[in-house]
Copies of this chain bind each other. A is one copy, B any other.
Amino acid sequence: MKKLKRSARLVEMTQYLLARPHTLISLTAFADRYQSAKSSISEDLAIIKEVFEEEGLGELHTLAGAAGGVKYIPKMHKGESLSIIKNICRQLEQPERVLPGGYLYMTDMLGIPNLMNDVGRMFATVFADRDIDVIMTVETKGIPLAYATAMFLNLPVVIVRRDNKVTEGSAVSINYVSGSNKRIQTMSLARRALKEQARVLIIDDFMKAGGTVQGMMDLLHEFDATVAGVGVFVESGEVGMDERLLEDYVSLAKLTAVDLKTKQTTVIPGNYFTP
C-alpha cells in the first residue's frame, strides 16, 4: 500500500478495524501496511478509539508488549439496545402478527439485515467475554441472528438441520420434544460440522418452554461439546415456571400475553434488561 496522509490513513484504519472484529492486529502490521512510525499509528488508534467509544460502536483494546496490538470489540450500549428493543416490541405487538396457536409472525423483521445487525451486535455485547469456538442455531429462522452475531464475534456458524440431507455426509441425529406442541421431532448435525470439545454459543429466534434449545444441548452432548451460552431473541412468558426446561439464557424481548380473541399481545424487553 502506498504511503497515506494521516487523514486518508484514519479512513483506511477505521474500515480495516471494523471489518476485523475480535482480531488482534499488531502495531507492526499497521506500521508496515501504512509505512508509518508506530508512534503515528498509536496516535491514530487513540483518535479512532475515542470516536468508537463516544459513538457506542465498541471498544478498542490495546495490548502492550512484543505480542501486543489492537483489537476491536464491537459493543452496543445498554441504553441504545433498550431503545431499539422497545421499538421492536412495539412492532411485535401489531395485532396482524397473531397467528393461530398463539404464534407471532416475525419473519418479515428477521428479513431486515440492518435489524439483524443491531440484534447481532447486542448478542455480541452480551457474550463478548465468553470463550466460544462456534455459534450454533437450528434452521430456519434463527440463521440470520446467528450469522449477525457471528460476524461481530468473528466466529463460524453451524446450522442444525431438521432433517438429514444427503449433501451433509454422515450425521448425528436426536429426537426431542418441542415444549410448545409436545410433538416428537428430529434434529441432526453433520459429524464433521463440529470438533469435539467445542465451546458453543446457541442462538435462536424464539423460545417457549425451551425444548428446541434443550434438543441442541443434547446434540452437543453427543459431540462432547459444551454450552458457552444461550441467547434467544424473543422468549414467551406464557410458560409456567415448572414447564421451563432451562434457566440460564439471555433473552432480548419477552412475549408476556397473547389474547387470541382480541389479537392483543404484550411484548416487553427481555431478561437482558432486567436490573
Chain A positions near chain B (C-beta within 8 angstroms) = 2, 4, 6-8, 10-12, 14-15, 18, 47-48, 50-52, 54-55, 57, 99-101, 103-105, 107-108, 111-114, 116-117, 139-141, 143-144, 147-148, 150-151, 154-159, 161, 166-169, 190, 192-193
Smallest CB–CB gap between A89 and chain B, Å? 18
Complex alpha-carbon distance, A105 and B167, angstroms: 6
With A105-B168, A168-B105 given, is the CB distance from A111 to B157 under 8 Å? yes
Chain B positions within 8 Å of A51 at CB level? 4, 8, 11-12, 15
Chain B positions within 8 Å of A166 at CB level? 99-101, 103
Chain B positions within 8 Å of A107 at CB level? 158-159, 167-168, 190, 193
Name 29 interchain pairs, CB-CB below 8 A, sorted by A. Answer: A4-B51, A8-B51, A10-B10, A11-B11, A11-B14, A11-B47, A11-B48, A11-B52, A12-B55, A15-B55, A18-B18, A99-B166, A99-B168, A99-B169, A101-B166, A103-B167, A104-B167, A105-B169, A107-B167, A107-B190, A111-B158, A111-B159, A113-B150, A113-B155, A114-B151, A114-B154, A117-B151, A144-B147, A144-B157
